[in-house]
Amino acid sequence: MLVPPVPPFKNGLFCFVTESWAIAPTHAPYLDLCVCVGGGLTFPISSPIPYFGEETSRSTCRGVHFCFGRSVGEARMKLVRKDIEKDNAGQVTLIPEEAEDMWHAYNLLQVGDSLRASTFRKVQTESSTGSVGSNRIRTTLTLCVETIDFDSQACQLRVKGTNIQENEYVKMGAYHTIELEPNRQFTLAKKQWDSVMLDRIEQACDPGWSADVAAVVMQEGLAHVCLVTPSMTLTRAKIEVNIPRKRRGNCSQHDRALERFYEQVMQAIQRHISFDVVKCVLVASPGFVREQFCDYMFQQAVKTDNKLLLENRSKFLQVHASSGHKYALKEALCDPAVTSRLADTKAAGEVKALDDFYKMLQHEPDRAFYGLKHVEKANEAMAIDTLLISDELFRHQDVATRSRYVKLVDSVRENMGTVRFFSSLHVSGEQLGQLTGVAAILRFPVAELSDQEDESSSEED
């Protein structure tokens, strides 16, 4: 009886097959992938899997075995319930599964919403004798949200607010901070759900195939180890090492420091990249650093008999980048070699859209606008073909400002324009954020406004 190797799935289940059929786990409808463990094939399950019942007998297994599951990089938020009235008030219940889901939740939350989720509360109990005890109790609370705090490194979402529903342990109006937990459902109620919010939920729950990519952007003495998910770029490690220059007749210090540097990068890769999840590791650098590094890494892997690295050797992809700084990741992501291998990741799509904008700005400046006022003006003329907008703007806590952006988005859609939401955690989103957060490529030239840019620049001051 063969025991399958480490499965590439988070909650995958194994089942054993005969030549023609497989025994799927009981909750197969949730699963959307099937991997032939022996042959290394992966294919999505297009039609719902019929229920096979309990695993019949292990003796039926012959040779190859398959495993079913959900690929982790693609784990999606689950929408349990959605009750939204005609007036757009209502609530949704979601189950976040992954770090990225926290990011989506963060983008959905607004001050004034009510959030119901399970949480821990330290409760003091006083017995009849007067002795005081304190217990940590798990309870479900409903809060009126006051502050929202997202830690992008740990991907944790903390929501602080006052209790608005009677509870055995917590008084009404008492403050509490909920830290949303993966795999536990929460309910979010809003007085007003707008199209951008609903889009976000759809996007978060969309089971479309997308890959998790790890990237190492490096130059001599500087490396960033990043994880690129559909809506986030997380810097997992930054390695900065001083490398002495070559000097006349003495290069040993240089060589030694370089080796130490590579060693550290290699350590960081092993520590921060989980090869179960990551489909591809980009090694991007100027010059020969990437080659040198990969040579070093695999030599070391052979020396130390590091199976993990050697088995995943094919996942490493060398691409060119102009420097080892984080924003050079942009160059790596739009490298043709990468895009062909990764299909269309959202990050790469964003990079391309921003590039298009800049190209338009170069060739036909009258067809590329940025800054809210300018873009609105262009929208009035129904000229917007593609709207690039940073999701940062929708986290604006001022309702009026936010609705202004929402209106813009809705109106562009009405006019058959496309809207691209940029994640502010991606490198390109960061850049768009610096560029007032909103930009548009127009269908036809619109005369430029007279110098009214004071608004956008005053924002900056």
Partner 1 sequence: MARHRNVRGYNYDEDFEEDDVYGQSVEDDYCISPSTAAQFIYSRRDNPPFAETEEYGYKDTEHSNYSVSSHQLTEVEKVQLDSCLDHMRELLGESVPEKVMVEAVLNSKFDVQQALDSVLAQLSKQDTKIKNEDTVISGKATKGKNRDSQTTRIESDVVPKVTKMTVSGKKQSTGFEVPGVNAEENGHNALTPQKGISAGDGSANLGITEVPSKPALSSQTVQALEEQTSAPTPMKKSGKAKQQIDVKAELEKRQGGKHWLNLVVIGHVDAGKSTLMGHLLYLLGNVNKRTMHKYEQESKKAGKASFAYAWVLDETGEERERGVTMDVGMTKFETQTKVITLMDAPGHKDFIPNMITGAAQADVAILVVDASRGEFEAGFETGGQTREHGLLVRSLGVTQLAVAVNKMDQVNWKQERFLEIVVKLGQFLKQAGFKESDVAYIPTSGLGGENLVTRSQSSELTKWYEGKCLLEQIDSFKPPQRSVDKPFRLCVSDVFKDQGSGFCVTGKIEAGYVQVGDRLLAMPPNETCTVKGIALHDEPVDWAAAGDHISLTLTGMDIIKIKVGCVFCCPKEPIKVCMRFRARLLIFNIEIPITKGFPVLLHYQTVSEPATIRRLLSVLHKSTGEVTKKKPKCLVKGQNALIELETQRPIALELYKDFKELGRFMLRYSGSTIAAGVVTEIKE
Interface contacts to partner 1, rule CB under 8 A: 242, 244-249, 251, 253-255, 286-288, 292, 322-323, 325-328, 330-331, 355, 358-359, 361-362, 365, 370, 430-436, 448, 451, 453, 457, 460
Q: Which one, 62 or 246, has the nearer CB to partner 1? A: 246
Q: Which one, 94 or 334, has the nearer CB to partner 1? A: 334
Q: Which one, 48 or 249, has the nearer CB to partner 1? A: 249
Q: Which two tokens stand for residue 23?
A: 């025994």
Shortest spacing between CB 459 and partner 1, in angstroms? 11
Q: Which two tokens stand for residue 443?
A: 């269908």
Q: Which two tokens stand for residue 85?
A: 């009235």
Shortest spacing between CB 233 and partner 1, in angstroms? 14
Q: How far apart are the first and last CA of the chain?
A: 69
Shortest spacing between CB 259 and partner 1, in angstroms? 12
Shortest spacing between CB 394 and partner 1, in angstroms? 19
Shortest spacing between CB 289 and partner 1, in angstroms? 9
Place of tokens 């110098």: 451
Alpha-carbon torsion (320, 322, 325, 330), positive or negative: negative
What's the CA gap between 304 and 34, in Å, rounded?
A: 33
Shortest spacing between CB 323 and partner 1, in angstroms? 6
> If you compute the radius of gyration of the chain from its CA atoms, what whole number of angstroms results?
26
Shortest spacing between CB 89 and partner 1, in angstroms? 37
- Long-range (24+ apart) CB contacts under 8 A made by 49-52 are 49/24, 50/24, 51/24, 51/26, 52/15, 52/21, 52/22, 52/23, 52/24, 52/28
Beta bridge partners of 78: 95
- Sequence-separated (6 or more) residues with CB below 8 Å from residue 115: 109, 142, 143, 145, 159, 161, 178, 186, 187, 188, 189
> What CA–CA distances, in Å, run from 322 to 162, 179, 242, 456?
50, 40, 19, 31
Shortest spacing between CB 140 and partner 1, in angstroms? 43
Q: Which one, 78 or 396, has the nearer CB to partner 1? A: 396
User: Residue 382, Cβ neighbours under 10 Å: how many?
Assistant: 15
Q: Which two tokens stand for residue 49?
A: 């899997």
Q: Which one, 24 or 334, has the nearer CB to partner 1? A: 334
